[in-house]
Amino acid sequence: GENVEQHPSTLSVQEGDSAVIKCTYSDSASNYFPWYKQELGKGPQLIIDIRSNVGEKKDQRIAVTLNKTAKHFSLHITETQPEDSAVYFCTSGGSNYKLTFGKGTLLTVNP
Amino acid sequence: EAQVTQNPRYLITVTGKKLTVTCSQNMNHEYMSWYRQDPGLGLRQIYYSMNVEVTDKGDVPEGYKVSRKEKRNFPLILESPSPNQTSLYFCASSLSTSGGTDTQYFGPGTRLTVL
């Protein structure tokens, strides 16, 4: 089955700096790569996604990149703010009725 | 308000005492799923349902049962809970039947402790 590796497991940055989270996947049939943000005490919430026919997607301070050949995808957050502090999950999906989650990255933005 | 609701939010029980965690969505979504979240392991899928009366196992189905008799409800049943089922449980739903190619909307979670 699909395996998603996510790094780093924890990331601490100063407010205003950029944060990058990297993931790899194993199943070449995967074609959908959403990122979820989980705030303390809440369920995960989609923040951005990318499909396999696109190499990059941006939404304000958040961007995702996808390298299908290398089976890598990354989340980039610029100008980080304290409210960006949360656990971030990369996931991969396809036609097999499921999303496979990475183990998560705890991002801390220090004021 | 469009949402996924779970009940109860917190539950402490003892080994072997049957319990049900309810999940309901008001978005007319086709797909529903249960996950458990454990420290250092991320979210792992327990069971999913593509439609009414259609369910299938996820990655960690042992010790759990589900049913999908109505489109909006997808209860998770632990017939004989054990301490290794102590976890944080999330229900999720998505519009399309595939689940793997669509946004999933998550409930607030149920924290279960089995003594």
- pLDDT number for residue A106: 97
According to the model, what pLDDT value does residue A97 have?
81
pLDDT at res. B43: 95
Chain A residues with CB under 8 Å of B104 CB are 34, 46, 99
Residue B55: phi and psi, rounded to 5, are: -130, 160
State residue A80's pLDDT score. 98
Q: Is there a contact between A93 and B100 (Cβ–Cβ < 8 Å)?
A: yes
CB of A96 within 8 Å of any CB in chain B?
yes
Residue B34 pLDDT > 80, yes or no?
yes
| Confidence label for B104 from pLDDT (cuts 50, 70 and 90) | very high
Q: Which residues of B touch A49 (CB under 8 A)?
A: 103
Residue B31: the pLDDT is 95
- In terms of pLDDT, which residue wins out, B101 or B4? B4
- Whole-number Å distance between alpha carbons of B104 and A110: 30
- Measured distance CA(A14)–CA(A110) in Å, rounded: 5
- Percentage, residues of chain A above pLDDT 70: 100
Span of A61-70, B35-44, B97-106 with lowest mean pLDDT: B97-106
| pLDDT at res. B1 | 85
Task: Flag whether pLDDT at B99 surpasses 90.
Answer: no
B93–A contact, CB cutoff 8 A:
no
Q: Give the model's pLDDT for residue B75.
A: 98
Banded pLDDT at A81 (limits 50, 70, 90): very high
Could you tell me which chain A residue has the CA closest to the CA of B99?
A97
**Residue A74, number of CB atoms within 10 A of its CB:** 18
- Residues of A whose CB is below 8 A from B95: none
Say if strands B110-114 and B10-13 run parallel, antiparallel, or are unpaired.
Answer: parallel
Cβ–Cβ pairs < 8 A, chains A and B = 66
Count of helix runs (H) and strand runs (E) in chain B: 0, 11
**In the block, residue with structure tokens 């390298």:** A67
Tell me the two tokens of residue B27: 């978005």
Read off the pLDDT band of A54 (50, 70, 90).
Answer: confident
- Chain B neighbors of A21, CB-CB under 8 A: none
Q: Taking a C-beta distance cutoff of 8 angstroms, is the pair A71, B72 a contact?
A: no
Determine the average pLDDT of the residues in A23-44: 95
Does the distance separating the beta carbons of A97 and B50 come in below 8 Å?
yes
CB contact A76 to B (< 8 Å): no
- C-beta neighbour count of A7 within 10 angstroms: 14
Q: Which residues contact B16 (CB under 8 A, 6 or more apart)?
A: B80, B81, B82
Give the pLDDT mean for B88-97: 94
Q: Are A49 and A32 in contact (CB under 8 A)?
A: yes
Phi then psi for B53, rounded to 5 degrees?
A: 70, 10
